[in-house]
Amino acid sequence: CLWCYTNNTCIDYPVRSIFPPSSLCSFSNARWGVCWINFEALIIAMAVVAGLILVSITVCCCYCCYCRRRSRSRLEEEEEQLARKKEERRLQSLQRKHERKLKHDEIRKKYGLLQDSDNPYSRFENE
């Protein structure tokens, strides 16, 4: 129903067009459905709501894209840190292994268990 205040009549809404033509009723005097909903106010309100929805969707998309890029760079930094720490632990482990080997060699030398490096296959003789 399209209520027109100029002639106080209820007209069937022209379904073929989205907005009622000015020949039926002027836009400022046209009311939609019930008498208190002004067509101009309805269109303005719908435009504002649609604009807010579009702006919020755009802001959400931009924010999500920014967060993804930032989280990717953060992940890459964490991976690099983990790789550096792993390499440091490996080097420390090798250093400790070398120190243990030197200590064991000293003990072997002290007790005469260190084999001759020239002939590693010599037989151990009890004297």
For 62-77, the pLDDT digits (tens) are 888 877 777 677 778 8
Best CA proximity match to 2, nearest among 46, 19, 16 = 19
Check residue 48 and give its pLDDT: 96
- Calculate what percentage of the chain has a pLDDT beyond 90: 29
Mean pLDDT of the chain: 81
Q: Which tokens sit at 103? A: 């200590």
If one compares 23 and 82, the residue with the highest pLDDT of the two is: 82
Check residue 25 and give its pLDDT: 78
8 Å CB contact between 13 and 33: no
pLDDT(90) > 60: yes
Dihedral of the alpha carbons of 62, 64, 65, 69, in degrees to the nearest 10: 140
